[in-house]
């Protein structure tokens, strides 16, 4: 199934009307796949819509959700350090950085609108 066919099917499915109201942007991925970017809505998550889209498209297309995540690698820590210790240290450091930098000076926006911490 090609991009245009998938888009037409998703737009015409009456069960996906709620999805249509929550789409902020429709675009192609680098591989040419259809990407729907959703608005942040209270009570609505990607998982809510994932099953509906899979049901609508069936076996004709692969449906997956992408989320932003942050990976922090901790090196040279003691064997007795717990994950709670690491979580607390990371949270304390990031919160202090936000407070010390102020709201606008410490946070900038990428071209895609996502926040970025700056020094």
Q: Give the mean pLDDT per block of 10 residues along the chain (119 residues).
A: 74 77 82 80 77 80 74 83 87 74 55 61
Residue 32 is given by DSSP the state S
At 99 the pLDDT is 66
Give the count of domains, the chain. Answer: 2
- Angle CA(99)–CA(105)–CA(110) in degrees, nearest 5? 115
- Bridge partners of 27, per DSSP, are 35
Q: How far is it, in rounded angstroms, from Cα 19 to Cα 38?
A: 8
Q: What is the CA radius of gyration of the chain?
A: 20
Q: Final residue of a domain: which of 60, 87, 103?
A: 60
48 and 90: one domain?
no
At 69 the pLDDT is 67
77 and 117: one domain?
yes
The parent domain of residue 107 ranges over 68-119
81 and 55: one domain?
no
At 100 the pLDDT is 61
At 116 the pLDDT is 62
Q: How far is it, in rounded angstroms, from Cα 109 to Cα 118?
A: 10
At 2 the pLDDT is 73
10 and 54: one domain?
yes
37 and 81: one domain?
no
At 113 the pLDDT is 64
């Amino acid at each position: 199934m090609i991009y245009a066919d998938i888009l037409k099917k998703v737009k015409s499915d009456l069960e996906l009307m709620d999805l249509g109201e929550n789409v902020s942007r429709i675009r192609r991925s680098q591989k040419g796949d259809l990407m729907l970017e959703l608005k942040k809505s209270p009570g609505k998550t990607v998982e809510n819509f994932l099953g509906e889209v899979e049901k609508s498209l069936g076996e004709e297309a692969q449906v997956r959700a992408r989320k932003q995540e942050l990976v922090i690698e901790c090196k040279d820590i003691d064997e007795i350090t717990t994950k709670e210790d690491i979580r607390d240290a990371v949270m304390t450091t990031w919160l202090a950085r936000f407070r010390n930098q102020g709201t606008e000076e410490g946070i900038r926006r990428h071209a895609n609108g996502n926040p970025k911490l700056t020094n």
